[in-house]
Every structure is written in structure tokens, then in C-alpha cells.
Amino acid sequence: MKPRDHRALVRQAAAIALALGATALGCSTRGPAPDRDHDGYDAVDDCHDANSAVSPGASEVCGDGLDNDCDLAVDASDPDCTPP
Ligand SMILES: [Ca+2]
Ligand SMILES: [Ca+2]
Ligand SMILES: [Ca+2]
């Protein structure tokens, strides 16, 4: 084996060890999830990451056909839209 091949193998082994270590620690090597609609909630927390009117921090808008506040209840099904 040439010294040059050896260095490539060492680099490869180091990369694998780094990936395994990150996995063992529960870390992702891909970084944080994206927030594509820029509403402050990333794709993990946001139930609709392509619509900034929908997020766990939004208020339910009654009658737009969307689950605006991400509580799995849409419009009239959402207690926020039920008259007291
Ligand atoms: Ca959203
Ligand atoms: Ca709605
Ligand atoms: Ca809702």
C-alpha cells in the first residue's frame, strides 16, 4: 500500500468515526431543520412549512379550510371557532 493510499484511508476512517460519534450523541450532521415559510417554526414543529399563516403559534382562522394553529382541528371542528 502506498503512503498516499494510507492517508486517504485514514481520512475516510475519521469521517466515518465522526458520523458515528454524532449519531451516538443524538446529533444530526445535517444541521437544524429549515423554516421554509419563515414563520419562526422549523419543518419539524410547523404542520405546514410552506404557509406562514399556519404554525403552532398562529390563531385559528375560521372558514379558510386550514388548520391554522396546528391542533389538527380545522375551522368549525376547532374549539377556537365554536361560539361559547
Ligand atoms: Ca408555517
Ligand atoms: Ca382555519
Ligand atoms: Ca386548528
> Residues 71, 74, 77, 78: what is their CA dihedral angle, to the nearest 10 degrees?
40
Residue 47 sits in which domain range?
A: 37-84
- Same domain for 70 and 53? yes
Is residue 58 domain-shared with residue 81, that is, in the same domain?
yes
Residue with cell 377556537: 80
Q: Residue 56 and residue 70: Cα distance in Å, rounded?
A: 5
Nine cell digits for residue 3: 503512503
Tell me how many degrees the CA angle 16-7-23 measures, rounded to the nearest 5.
10
Ligand 3 centre to CA of 74 (Å) is 5
pLDDT at position 64 is: 96
Instruction: Please tell me whether residues 42 and 21 are part of one structural domain.
Output: no
Task: Match 458515528 to its residue by C-alpha cell.
Answer: 20
Query: Are 41 and 75 in a shared domain?
Result: yes
The predicted-structure confidence for 51-64, as pLDDT tens digits, reads as follows: 999 999 999 999 99
Task: Give residue-wise pLDDT tens across range 27-52.
Answer: 556 678 999 999 999 999 999 999 99
Distance (angstroms) between ligand 3 centre and the Cα of 69 equals 5
Q: Are residues 56 and 15 in the same domain?
A: no
